Chains A and B, each alone.
Chain A
Amino acid sequence: MSGDHTSSLISARVRHVEALLESRGLLAAGEVDGRIDEFLAGGTPANGARIVARAWLDPGFAGRLLADANSAVREVGLSMAGGLQEQRLKVVANTAAEHNVVVCTLCSCYPIALLGPSPGWYKSEAYRSRVVRDPGGVLAEFGLQLPAGTSIAVWDASAESRYLVLPRRPEGTGALTEEELAGLVTRKGLIGTAAV
């Protein structure tokens, strides 16, 4: 369940099955690649940034987002249904007392339909194995020093839910528009390896 799969037995098997399906006319040539491209094109970290900016400006939306993220993201025109089936989205909010960080220790589960492909480091064995044991050390390597007394909650995406971190709104941003606020949010912030 780890590492690079491109040269593995399962990859060869998948390519063989794809070729058989194409040769029997069940699948158009390139259809799988097309569907994957379509799936990935809909996802971008900008979607997550929009969700965060709305949550910062609208406490009601933030509450709905934490209670039932799948319903709440539809309010801003987004969906977790971009794949074969709708995946459950769980949003976890950073507070002054607790910082959240997301990992998939078993493979590389990530809200692709919403955020697009995950960064390479998210899939690395180093990140996946170390962040559950020493999240403070890993976050420090990312340049994130949490204030003393902040506890860290690690979320392991070991089943069917996908996760999004709701960062804390930076101080001094009271005058910014929703779009400007969204511009502050990074992909690392949405995973929890950056403050915002």
Chain B
Amino acid sequence: MSTGTERFLPGDRVRTRSLDPDGHTRLPRYARGAVGVVVEAAGRHPLADDRARGLTGEAQPVWHVRFAAADLFGSGDHTVTVELWDDYLTPVEGS
């Protein structure tokens, strides 16, 4: 699935955006502003936020990103892996 131009590789640390958008988004509230690790690529799709507004954006990479429960909820020893569009993510330097 890789085109060689993707921003991330498995193992990279990423931070999700903390923006609370007016419209539809597929970045769950519990995973906003959190740091996780890219597990693998999950294909390329137009951003769901755009499609919900009737816009047909270009397909962009979608990633499985794994978070430690303690980083999301302050407790718990499990992990939560969320599927996130590239636009939701910024690289965490030094990863």
B residues contacting the other copy or chain, number (CB 8 A): 26
Judging by beta carbons under 8 Å apart, are A160 and B42 in contact? Answer: yes
Closest chain A CB from B79 CB (angstroms)? 5
- CB nearest to B83 among chain A residues: A159
Distance between B66 CB and nearest chain A CB, rounded to angstroms: 8
| A157 pairs with B83, CB closer than 8 A | yes
A151 and B70 CA atoms in complex are apart in Å by 13
A112-150 interface with B by 8 A CB criterion: 132-136
Indicate if A154 sits at the interface (CB-CB under 8 A).
Answer: yes
Pick the contact of A106: B26, B66, B73, B85 (CB < 8 A): B26
Contacting residues, chain A, for B34 (C-beta < 8 A): none
Q: How far is the CB of B53 from chain A (nearest CB, A)?
A: 15
B43 at the interface (CB under 8 A from A): yes
Q: Is B38 an interface residue (CB 8 A)?
A: no
Q: How far is the CA of A11 from the CA of B27 in the complex (A)?
A: 24
Q: Which residue of B lies closest to A88 (CB)?
A: B43
The reply to whether B30 and A132 form a contact with Cβ atoms under 8 Å apart is: yes
User: Does any Cβ of B come within 8 Å of A161's Cβ?
Assistant: yes
Q: Mark B29-73, 1 if CB is under 8 A from A, else 0.
A: 011000000000011010010000000000000101010010011
- Which of A151, A156, A160 touches B28 (beta carbons < 8 Å)? A156
Q: Which residues of B contact A151 (CB under 8 A)?
A: 77-79
* A133 contacts B69, C-beta separation under 8 Å: yes
A155: chain B residues within 8 A (beta carbon): 80-81
Whether A188 is near chain B, meaning CB under 8 Å from some CB there, is: no
Question: B76 in the interface, Cβ–Cβ < 8 Å?
Answer: yes
Q: What are some 18 contacts across the A-B interface (CB < 8 A)?
A: A1-B24, A105-B28, A132-B69, A132-B80, A151-B77, A151-B78, A152-B78, A153-B79, A155-B80, A156-B31, A156-B83, A158-B83, A159-B42, A159-B84, A160-B42, A160-B43, A161-B43, A161-B83
Q: Which A residues are within 8 Å of any B CB, using their own CB? A: 1, 88, 90, 105-106, 132-136, 151-161
The 10 closest A-B pairs by CB, nearest first: A159-B83, A152-B78, A154-B80, A156-B82, A158-B83, A160-B45, A159-B62, A155-B81, A158-B26, A153-B79
Residues of B within 8 A of A (CB): 24, 26-28, 30-31, 42-43, 45, 48, 62, 64, 66, 69, 72-73, 76-85
